[in-house]
Structure 1
Amino acid sequence: MTQQVLSHKQTKETTAVLKENTESSTPLAARNRWLILATVTLGTFMATLDGSIANVALPTISSELNKPIHVVQWVLTAYLLTICATLPILGKISDMIGRSRMYNWGMFIFMLGSALCGLSHSLGFLIASRIIQAVGASCLMSNSQAIVAGIFAKGDRGKAMGIVGTAVSLGALTGPGIGGILVGSLGWPSIFWINVPIGILGFIAAWFLLPKDSVKGKHEPFDYGGSALFILGTVALLYILSTGQDWGWTSPAVLLGLIGACAVLAGFYYWEHKTPYPMLDFSLYKIRAFAIGNTTSLLSFTALFCMTVMMPFYLQNVLLFSPAKTGYTMMIYPLAMAVVAPLSGWLSDKIGPNLLTTAGLLINAAGFALLTTLTAQESAWTVALHLSLFGLGSGLFQSPNNSSVMGAVPMAKLGTAGGLNALVRNIGMIMGISLSVSLFSFRLGQTGGSLDITNAAADKLLVISALHVVFWMGMAFCLLALLVSVRRIGKPDQDRMGG
């Protein structure tokens, strides 16, 4: 009975806060809502972009800093892991001190971290700077959807959310292409320096355009226990996944680490169900469309990052493309998605998301199968045509899936849902990076090749063999996501926004 009273009280407080936020939207904010959307979308795009822009720079960083690839991958992993560990916590803090304020601080921290990355001359300093950059990115990601939802009328909210979702997907997918062009033209520090002038413009725009925060009344107590358990469990689990290849997957350290991390996360889950003011609202996963959409998103991003991490090594170390040529070749993927995604979003409004999401995953699986046919002598156009399939598949999948996920959630929980959606996406990215690099290194070692890919380019057949194994794993993740996604077919669409 006590728990029911607390739950009812919490629901009333959430509804009151949502009503207050809606009513506090000023006429100026309403008039500038499309400018605000553009500003928030820019920050979200930058934060997501930096999760993948360093992919194509890894061989160059590995060579210039004289570090093996399984160590250099922490330039990517540290960024994504920090975001995963801080997203729900910073989202909760934002509810306490104001979303616009937290967003502005996030833009400043992101710019500072980017500048420090550009100044880095050692791998340790670079990784530390990426962690600072990631804290800023987490502030941006955890507030973007909530800010947009607060300033848009109900009739335009879905359209605005679709634009933010497309920016997130394009940010994650254009990173390797943009990174390759910058690395080839200006060197690897340029992929971080480019954020500074753009970030300054975004910070100024956000400072003047974002609605002023109206934080009133007594707030829920902060869930320190749940936050600590979440950070400990998430960091431990993802760290073990990232270093399992170095220690040996069957070693006592890895096995005990996995058991310990899972035990902590299980404790976190139990804690969140017992505390009256949880950090994460697991009740959202009782909504069928939300649960299926999040699961397929996790598996899809895991698969896609198996490709985005490994393709630069294939293009540069096997086909001997320059970083710039690698970037131009990989740009076909996000360009194809940019064309297909809006059409897919429009079509999903007509026929629903079910068939489109399933078809997209099937096309991505076919794309991975075709990647296993690539040889040591391919033209840029041939590779680009292969990658265009992923643009088609991702375009068909991402927009309808995001619409389905966010549309199934009650309006009062839209911000929480957006944070969970971002968390799942970033966990998928980390899993894709960790599993692809580990499997690639393991397979290369099995065949007698060097674990340092910078020294393995001469033996192209061994490298291609290892890459093909990773691509088969990517295909397996796509098919697993497909099995989950088909559960939506034949069911009534649950993509109506709650009131």
Structure 2
Amino acid sequence: MSTVAAKKKEYRKWLILANVSLGTFMATLDGSITNVALPSISHALAVPLNLVQWVITAYLLTIAALLPIVGKLSDSLGRGRLYQAGFLTFVGGSIFCGLSGSIWMLIVGRIVQAAGAALLMGNSQAIVASTFSKAERGRSLGITGTVVSLGSLTGPAVGGMLVSSFGWESIFWVNVPIGLLAFLAGIWILPKEKLEQVSEPFDYTGSLLYMVGIVAFLYVLSNVQVWGWGSIWTIAGLVGAIGLLIGFYKRETSISFPMLDFSLYRIRTFRVGSLAALLSFISLFCITVMMPFYMQNVLGYSPHIVGYVMMANPLVMALVAPLSGWLSDRIGPFFLTTGGLLLNAVSFAMLTTLGVKELPWQIALHLALFGLGTGMFQSPNNASVLGAVPPIQLGRAGGLNALVRNLGMVLGTTFSVSLFSFQFQRLAGSGERFTIQGEAYSATFIAALHSVFGAAAVICLLGAFVSARRGKPVR
């Protein structure tokens, strides 16, 4: 290969990474950007909060239902083709959301958006892993790991700024020009795949069992703080959902061409890294959900101040993650991943000291520590997980990796809200949130918040223990 051709190939792979990063950022950003906009949407469309929350929940549920299916299809239909289709689907959903005049129209738009996001998220890591050599995979996946975390964690900050300046519709319209430009760039940038003819049948029965089971399971968890753990609806829903998922597992392990290849979890590195990532995202979303409420309801910060403070986490992560990815290519993932989760556990323990008179810069320092810990963990873990699977299964592995991330987001949101609500009502001595006010309200809020952060610290410690099970690098 000539020097010019080599330079052109080197330049092109970084353009592929840039295009994939843009799609990943857009998809993950919309998973959390609507948090800040919910009050405005509720007021504009005249709907209560328990209904408007489905603007978020429908999005996450749809992604969780579709990601494994996307991973399966990408290995046969082509990762680039499905990724490009994801851009167009996401843009169409965004337009639908921006034009919504009712809550139901908005929820339908969010489901369409989520279908596009699943196509983007389910193929992005596999495209990157197949584009870069094993020696560069840690650094490249470190950059995509940064983008994933930036999208998820900057959502509240970016959403607050857009809603304050342009109204709630702007959080959807901003996706349209970005998505269209990325689609047009992808036509030229993304590699043209030569597909082999495959005779593997698609597992429609397994797909149906999975989608109904996972949606039912997450739906019940999203409503448990309303129904209560002892409710017949909660018990029956969980039993039914778990039964469907068990049936799905038994079917997938007994057929020749499963939709979700559980054999990947026989690979120790893949299994350990996936579980550690799940625990990491569960803990991190305790911050994403609870910190804006703490800063606005207790400290009295304006939405703009909250947005700027929340940016401390992703900004530090953006600096650390590429470096940790580069370092993991040289020393392996063990020390970085385990150390990152331990640092996050310490950071959560420090959050249990928060009071009613914290300054913005003090909160930002706390969140910056999470950026350091998560940046240390995310990139090496992604490289470790995807580097452990055969190249032919990268599509399925990438879809499963994105699924784990999404499940962590849903479970973290549900866990933090449920635990906080339970503790708040127990400490207040009433089921009604507004029966106490002033200093008593702030004290009760902080005590309940400390319980959430203490539990998140334990989750991080468990994640560090799991991460350490992948073993130290062999010298």
Distance 1:456 1:108, change over 3 A: farther
Unaligned runs of 5+ in 2: 1-6
Name the residue aligned to 2:84.
Answer: 104
Matched, 1:248 2:228: yes
The aligned runs of 1:52-131 (5 Å cut-off) are 52-62=32-42, 65=45, 69-131=49-111
Opposite residue 370 of structure 2, the aligned amino acid is F
CA shift digits 1:381-423 (9 cap, x unpaired): 1111111111111111111111211122222222221111111
Name the residue aligned to 1:212.
Answer: 192
Name the residue aligned to 2:465.
Answer: 483
The aligned runs of 1:145-164 (5 Å cut-off) are 145-153=125-133, 155-164=135-144
Opposite residue 324 of structure 1, the aligned amino acid is H
Q: Aligned equivalents of 1:344 and 1:150: distance in 2?
A: 20
Name the residue aligned to 1:257.
Answer: 237
User: Is the Cα–Cα contact under 8 Å of residues 59 and 454 in structure 1 kept in the other structure?
Assistant: no
Of stretches 290-299 and 358-367 in structure 1, the one that deviates more from structure 2 is 358-367
Opposite residue 119 of structure 1, the aligned amino acid is L
* Aligned partner (choices 8, 28, 35) of residue 15 of structure 2: 35
Opposite residue 45 of structure 1, the aligned amino acid is F
User: Is the Cα–Cα contact under 8 Å of residues 138 and 380 in structure 2 kept in the other structure?
Assistant: no
CA shift digits 1:451-489 (9 cap, x unpaired): 787998753223222222222221221122122123235
Q: CA deviation at 1:331?
A: 0.2
Name the residue aligned to 2:450.
Answer: 468
Distance 1:200 1:149, change over 3 A: same
Name the residue aligned to 1:3.
Answer: none
Opposite residue 459 of structure 2, the aligned amino acid is F
Of stretches 404-413 and 424-433 in structure 1, the one that deviates more from structure 2 is 404-413
Report the secondary structure of 1:76's partner residue: helix
User: Is the Cα–Cα contact under 8 Å of residues 139 and 325 in structure 2 kept in the other structure?
Assistant: no
Q: Aligned equivalents of 2:132 and 2:335: distance in 1?
A: 29
* Aligned partner (choices 273, 289, 294) of residue 309 of structure 1: 289
Distance 1:80 1:472, change over 3 A: same
Opposite residue 223 of structure 1, the aligned amino acid is D
Name the residue aligned to 1:380.
Answer: 360
Of stretches 427-436 and 371-380 in structure 1, the one that deviates more from structure 2 is 371-380
The aligned runs of 1:228-243 (5 Å cut-off) are 228-243=208-223
Of stretches 344-353 and 105-114 in structure 1, the one that deviates more from structure 2 is 344-353
CA shift digits 1:431-467 (9 cap, x unpaired): 0111112222222333348878799875322322222
Q: Aligned equivalents of 2:235 and 2:473: distance in 1?
A: 40
Alignment coverage as a number of residue pairs: 467
Distance 1:319 1:439, change over 3 A: same
CA shift digits 1:302-348 (9 cap, x unpaired): 01001101111111222222222111110000011112212222222
Q: CA deviation at 1:200?
A: 1.4
Matched, 1:284 2:269: no
Of stretches 464-473 and 324-333 in structure 1, the one that deviates more from structure 2 is 464-473
Name the residue aligned to 2:340.
Answer: 360
Q: Aligned equivalents of 2:152 and 2:244: distance in 1?
A: 30
Q: CA deviation at 1:68?
A: 5.2
Of stretches 140-149 and 38-47 in structure 1, the one that deviates more from structure 2 is 140-149
User: Is the Cα–Cα contact under 8 Å of residues 137 and 383 in structure 2 kept in the other structure?
Assistant: no
Of stretches 467-476 and 261-270 in structure 1, the one that deviates more from structure 2 is 467-476
User: Is the Cα–Cα contact under 8 Å of residues 332 and 387 in structure 1 kept in the other structure?
Assistant: yes
User: Is the Cα–Cα contact under 8 Å of residues 331 and 473 in structure 2 kept in the other structure?
Assistant: no
Of stretches 333-342 and 462-471 in structure 1, the one that deviates more from structure 2 is 462-471
Q: Aligned equivalents of 2:134 and 2:357: distance in 1?
A: 53
CA shift digits 1:39-75 (9 cap, x unpaired): 1211011111111222333344455556555544322
Distance 1:154 1:468, change over 3 A: closer
Of stretches 387-396 and 202-211 in structure 1, the one that deviates more from structure 2 is 202-211
* Aligned partner (choices 124, 132, 137) of residue 144 of structure 1: 124
Distance 1:314 1:120, change over 3 A: farther
Distance 1:67 1:329, change over 3 A: farther
Q: Aligned equivalents of 1:60 and 1:356: distance in 2?
A: 41
Q: Aligned equivalents of 2:163 and 2:347: distance in 1?
A: 27
Name the residue aligned to 1:320.
Answer: 300
Q: Aligned equivalents of 2:432 and 2:139: distance in 1?
A: 46
Q: CA deviation at 1:103?
A: 1.6
* Aligned partner (choices 180, 195, 202) of residue 200 of structure 1: 180
Report the secondary structure of 1:430's partner residue: helix
Q: Aligned equivalents of 2:198 and 2:8: distance in 1?
A: 27
Q: CA deviation at 1:269?
A: 0.7
TM-score (structure 1 length as normaliser): 0.87
Q: Aligned equivalents of 1:60 and 1:449: distance in 2?
A: 31
Q: Aligned equivalents of 2:54 and 2:341: distance in 1?
A: 28
The aligned runs of 1:264-283 (5 Å cut-off) are 264-283=244-263
Report the secondary structure of 1:274's partner residue: coil
Q: Aligned equivalents of 1:434 and 1:451: distance in 2?
A: 18
User: Is the Cα–Cα contact under 8 Å of residues 142 and 382 in structure 2 kept in the other structure?
Assistant: yes
Matched, 1:339 2:319: yes
Of stretches 279-288 and 463-472 in structure 1, the one that deviates more from structure 2 is 463-472
Q: CA deviation at 1:106?
A: 1.0
Report the secondary structure of 1:433's partner residue: helix
Matched, 1:440 2:410: no
Q: Aligned equivalents of 1:65 and 1:74: distance in 2?
A: 13
User: Is the Cα–Cα contact under 8 Å of residues 46 and 195 in structure 1 kept in the other structure?
Assistant: yes
User: Is the Cα–Cα contact under 8 Å of residues 79 and 130 in structure 1 kept in the other structure?
Assistant: yes
Opposite residue 478 of structure 1, the aligned amino acid is C
Alpha-carbon RMSD across the aligned residues, in angstroms, is 2.5
Opposite residue 308 of structure 2, the aligned amino acid is Y
User: Is the Cα–Cα contact under 8 Å of residues 129 and 386 in structure 2 kept in the other structure?
Assistant: no
Distance 1:470 1:404, change over 3 A: same
User: Is the Cα–Cα contact under 8 Å of residues 371 and 386 in structure 1 kept in the other structure?
Assistant: yes
Name the residue aligned to 1:9.
Answer: none
Distance 1:466 1:153, change over 3 A: closer
